[in-house]
Every structure is written in C-alpha cells, then in structure tokens.
Amino acid sequence: MKNKKALLIIDMQKGSFTEETPRFDTDGVIKRINQLADVFRKIGLPVIYIQHDGTGTGAFEKNTWEWELLESLEITTSDIFINKYANDVFYNSKLQSKLQSLDVTDLLVTGCATDFCVESTIQSALTKDYHITVVSDGHTTGERPHLSAEKVITHYNWVWQNMIPTNGSITVNSFENIIQDLELVSY
C-alpha cells in the first residue's frame, strides 16, 4: 500500500442520536462503519474515534452519557480516541500530531453530522493536504428546516466531489466500492 490510511469516525456519540435528534439511516451507517473498521484493523490500519468534548459548555460534557460513543459501534482496545472541541476535528485537538506520528496521509471519513462536523473536518483536512475519501453512505445527519437529511447528505457528497483540491485530494465513494478495494489490499 503506497499511502498509509486511517479510518476517521466522527461524533458517533449518544448525545447526537436521541429521539429529539433522529439521524438518517443510523443503523445502516453504523453497520458500514463497523465493517470498515473491521477491515482496517485486519490489514493493520488505524481506526480513530472522534468525540466532542464540551467540558464547561453544558453539552457533551466528558464522561457523561451524551459524550459516550454509541453502544452499537464495535470498538476494540487497539482503536485510537481523540477529543475535539469544535466542529473541525483538527481545531485544538491532538489529531494532526497523531496522524503525523502514524505517518498517515490518507483519511477515510465517516460519521455525524454531515453538514457540521464531517463537512468542517473535510475542509480542514483538505487544506492540510490529506488525501480524503468520503464514504458517501457512511455519514449521516438530521432533518433541517429547509432540507431533508437525505438531501443534505446528497448535497454534500456532490460538493465534495466537485471541490478544487489542494496538494491533497478528495474523492467520494460508496461503502461497497471502498470495501471491495480494501479487501483486495488485504489478500
């Protein structure tokens, strides 16, 4: 494998998935994230979970129920956990230094919420010259006043496919295509 990849799983925390904040295709997204994480681990690539730490803000306070990751995620002791403090995962976090220490150049991005944390992180990663693959059916969000969650996801997949890259790159690909490519690498 030419470039070292990492699977980035953003904000799949209990506080983002409540009855008041339903997300589009939650079960499907979690299933795809779990399968991707399993393949990454099998081929020796890092799986990184990002959790919003809202300590002092009254929301997503560290070590509270809403801060915890969803129980349906299949997490192992080899996985890496990074706290974030803004929509952009890179802002004031240890993500950049962790990726550099692991020699990661490529990010496979999944998570919640498409139009906030996922979008902000992708924009930031692009300016840092990472090679980004967005899992087109591996991120989710909620209904918005003017747009359904499904339309928000479709819109951002289109935006990311049409961005002007920096020295890095950005592609949007389906779970099925990505998993096939990863399974080829693992043989």
Is-contact 171 157, C-beta < 8 A?
no
Summary mean pLDDT of the chain? 95
The reported pLDDT for the residue numbered 1 is 41
Q: Strand locations in 15-146, DSSP E? A: 47-52, 80-84, 106-112, 131-140
CA distance 10 to 70: 12
The answer, yes or no, to whether residue 187 has pLDDT greater than 60, is no
CA distance 111 to 139: 5
> Per mean pLDDT, which range of 19-33, 79-93, 173-187 is the poorest?
173-187
| pLDDT, tens only, 110-128 | 999 999 999 999 999 999 9
What is the Cα–Cα distance from 134 to 157, expressed in whole angstroms?
A: 8
Q: pLDDT tens digit string along 30-61?
A: 999 999 999 999 999 999 999 999 999 999 99
Per the CB < 8 A criterion, the answer to whether 90 and 118 are in contact is: no
Q: What is the pLDDT of residues 82-100, one digit of tens each?
A: 999 999 999 999 999 999 9
